[in-house]
Amino acid sequence: MAVGLTLIFGVMRVVNFAHGDMMVWGMYLAWLLATRAGVDPYLGFVACAAVLFALGVLVQRMLVDRIVDAPHEMQILLMLGVALVLENAALVAFGPDPQRVRSPLRAATIWIGPVFVDVARLVTFALAMALTLVLYLFLQRTDLGRTMRAAADNAYGALVVGADVRRLYAVAFGIGAACVGAAGALVSPILPFQPAGGLSLSVASFNIVIIGGMGSLPGAFLGGLLVSLAESLGAVFLSPSMKELVSFSLLIVILLFRPAGLFGRPAT
């Protein structure tokens, strides 16, 4: 989830405010697949990723592309608009009530050493790790991946050496969206989701990415682990409804003291 956001920012320097809402759509797609087609989300996430990839490319091509050079305020407003549309389209399509996806794996639990673990969470975790690894390898080993990293470092230079930067941007955005679509699907059996949840997911993503550093993939990964840890601890020591308070307070503190994060590059 965070990895996707950081990819989009790193390559394009555009902040995707609609990130959380895209994830919600990923969740709903998984739900649709599960309820209408009987596909388990742990398999269906691929389809969710694919659909969201297409959505990402579409959004990028039609909208974001036009304002890549515009002042930041415009980019922010644009993505805010997209977020609004996505969130409320979900509201209209699926209704406001929380949903959950049933997976046959949900009920199973196993013992790992001294700890009682939910199989569903384990599979989610494993798949998420695997996907992150795949993405990492993609960026490091493949030509397309390397070109993307080059464009992230220096868009003009990449243009000069012949990279089709616009296509790169579309792909990067698409991959970012795909990540989040997959994430949504993978998480759908575990967490209840509703259209209004888009914002808190966006905030969580931003938290993670800002801690780990905007534009840094290892940062996003580490950031994800750190933030989840913090939130879990928060939920244990404070009442659950204050959990959100923790993440917002965390965001404020991070913004003030370390906006570049642990590994990141500062935003222009």
**Which residues are near other proteins by CB under 8 A?**
15, 63, 66-67, 70, 72-74, 76-78, 80-89, 91-92, 95-96, 195, 199, 203, 206, 210, 239, 241-242, 244-245, 248-249, 251-252, 255-257, 259, 267
CB of 111 to other proteins, least distance (A): 37
Smallest separation, CB 194 to other proteins (Å): 12
95 or 104, CB closer to other proteins?
A: 95
In the complex, the smallest distance separating the C-beta of residue 88 from other proteins, rounded to whole angstroms, is: 4
Q: What are phi and psi of 86, to 5 degrees?
A: -60, -45
Q: CA dihedral in degrees (195, 200, 205, 208; nearest 10)?
A: -160
Minimum CB distance to other proteins smaller for 47 or for 227: 227
Say how far apart CA 87 and CA 22 lie, in whole Å.
8
Helices and strands: H and E segment counts in the chain: 11, 2
Residue 260 CA: distances (Å) to CA of 2, 13, 212, 254: 15, 13, 8, 9
The pair of three-digit structure tokens given for residue 235, joined into one six-digit string:
């939920």
Q: Of 189 and 219, which CB lies nearer to other proteins in the complex structure?
A: 219
Compute the least distance from the CB of residue 186 to other proteins, in Å: 26
Q: Which is nearer to other proteins, 180 or 209 (CB)?
A: 209
User: Does the CA dihedral 55-60-61-63 come out positive or negative?
Assistant: positive
